[in-house]
Structure 1
Amino acid sequence: MNKILMLHGFLQSDKIFSGKTGGLRKALKKLGYELHYPCGTEVIPANDVGLEEDTDAEMFGWFVRNKDSFTEFEIKPKTINYLREYIIKNGPFDGIIGFSQGAGLGGYLATNLNGILNLTTEQQPLLKFFISFSGFRLESKPYDGLYETNTITIPALHVLGELDEVVTEDRVMRLYNSWPSDKRTLLKHAGSHFVPNSKPFVTQVCNWIRTIAENNVGPATGSDLCSSIQEEKEKGNKKDSANNQLDDDLMDMMDSIGKL
């Protein structure tokens, strides 16, 4: 079975992200894909994000921004080593799907996965695709330059929430514009900061992956993938929004203190 690496967002975990992508996971399983969820190496204490210390939720991230700068951070060697070993043990992977901070990390890795993680092509063949949900470009100096110096050859689907106030449209578009024009597809939904699970939306994502897998070249094309999904603006989107409002509130709070 083909495999996809799933990178969760800030203040999430492997278990949380798995639970919030159930609809997508079931649909992709029917296409022959198995989803694997690593867990971020940075433990985020509850009191660091304004929560009670006795909260039951375990929260993780892939990196933590410097307190005095919104754009400066370090992806620590332990994170690189963990992901390398995870891929060797559980891979190889056809693609990467990330949400928020996980999508930011995934987009960076997609510029040169084998070079960044020191993987041979036997350990990890070249990726076939990357999907970013509310992802952003890593703009810290050690990482920002790689989007230009590395030749990006992987087709990417960039998903934008029209009401997302955590990772705003301009940040999503900076990552989108980092991709060659013939390798990128933009897909919008009418919700905010979450991975939509409604059937119409999941179908669009699966259709894009199917097109990539069948053609093995270039991005999926067509107006359906490049426009907002009307069903999401109605019943499906309302259901997704209601289920994810608590997450949005928490992520809004985190973004305001510059840690996302």
Structure 2
Amino acid sequence: MVGNQVQVKKPRVLCLHGFRTSGEILKKMIGKWPDSVLGNFDFDFLDGQYPAKGKSDVESIYDPPYYEWYQVNEIECMHFEECVAHIEDYMIKHGPFDGLLGFSQGGMLASVIPPMQREGTAFTTVPKIKFVIIISGFELRELKSGPPKLLANVYSAPIDCPSIHVIGEKDFLKERNYKLMKSFVNPFLIHHSVGHTVPKLDEKGVETMNKFIEKIQEMFRQELQGGLGLKSAL
């Protein structure tokens, strides 16, 4: 503590990549963002548990290997429980993590972890996630077999977890991006002009991201001051 100013640590953020990409690829993609944003977080990048079972859309841009988290078609979502177990095991061994960042399929996953914790269906062995950064995220499509059991009630109530959503005007999943965003309480939004990708942040995008960072830092300050107050009272 300097004077009356409480020093806030950098939040640790677990990053979840998109379908048939990798943690290393996501690291390169968000590397487009300015240091004034990236420098506020301590990022950790995890690979999906399954090697890609088909062609990757990024083959002409990024080198392999490529991974996927789960598989889905119009009828069912396969290996979702294994995916959750893989992420939770990593969080136990390498955490604690304060927040999540997810792109595309990883964004979908990042968005459902806080409500799964709320419902007590998964991630009960790790600390509560305090915020999420969702890039081109989406709600899982409606399936003929119904949602995976772990997701049965994730949208039963608004997701009360600080969130920022990065959505592209030309994203083919744009409407599903917005539908997901509306599931959160008081979400921040960065809108950009390109498609299903991690964009560079323009001046307005950086300004919005900095406001989100300020909110997270203030939340951490309040938690830290509360902890210090408790210690002084004991």
**Alpha-carbon separation, structure 2, partners of 1:37 and 1:50:** 20
SS in 1 for 2:133: strand
Match of residue 30 from structure 1: 39
Structure 2 unaligned segments of length 5 or more: list them.
1-9, 221-234
More helix by share: 1
CA-CA distance at 1:197 after TM superposition: 2.8
- Measured in 2, the distance between the counterparts of 1:177 and 1:51 equals 29
CA-CA distance at 1:202 after TM superposition: 5.9
For 1:100 and 1:129, the matched residues in 2 are separated by 17
Contact 1:96 1:131 in 2 (8 A): yes
Alpha-carbon RMSD across the aligned residues, in angstroms, is 2.9
Give the residue type in structure 1 aligned to 2:104. S
Q: Distance in 2 between matches of 1:17 and 1:27?
A: 18
- Residue 21 (structure 2) pairs with residue 12 (structure 1): yes
The residue number in structure 2 matching 1:170 is 175
Instruction: Report the TM-score, using the length of structure 2 for normalisation.
Output: 0.74
**Change in CA separation of 1:56 and 1:153 when aligned onto 2, cut-off 3 Å:** closer
Rate the CA distance shift 1:86–1:50 in 2: closer, same or farther, 3 A.
closer
Matches of 2:57 and 2:29, distance apart in 1: 23
| Aligned-partner residue type, residue 132 of structure 1 | I
Helix, strand or coil for the counterpart of 2:42? strand
From 73, 89, 101, the counterpart of 1:97: 101
**Change over 3 Å in CA distance of 1:24–1:77 after alignment to 2:** same
Q: Are residue 41 (structure 1) and residue 41 (structure 2) matched?
A: no
**Deviation readout 1:46-75 (Å, 9 max, x if unpaired):** 4x56999xx962211111113xx1x73134
The question of whether the paired residues in 2 share the 8 Å contact of 1:45 and 1:59 is answered with no
Identity level (%): 27
**Cα distance 1:77–1:199, how it changes in 2: closer, same or farther (>3 A)?**
same
| Structure 1: stretches of 5+ with no match in the other structure | 218-260
TM-score (norm 1): 0.68
Q: Which amino acid is 1:175 matched to?
A: L
Whether the 8 Å contact between 2:22 and 2:67 is mirrored in structure 1 is yes
The one-letter amino acid of 1:154's match is C
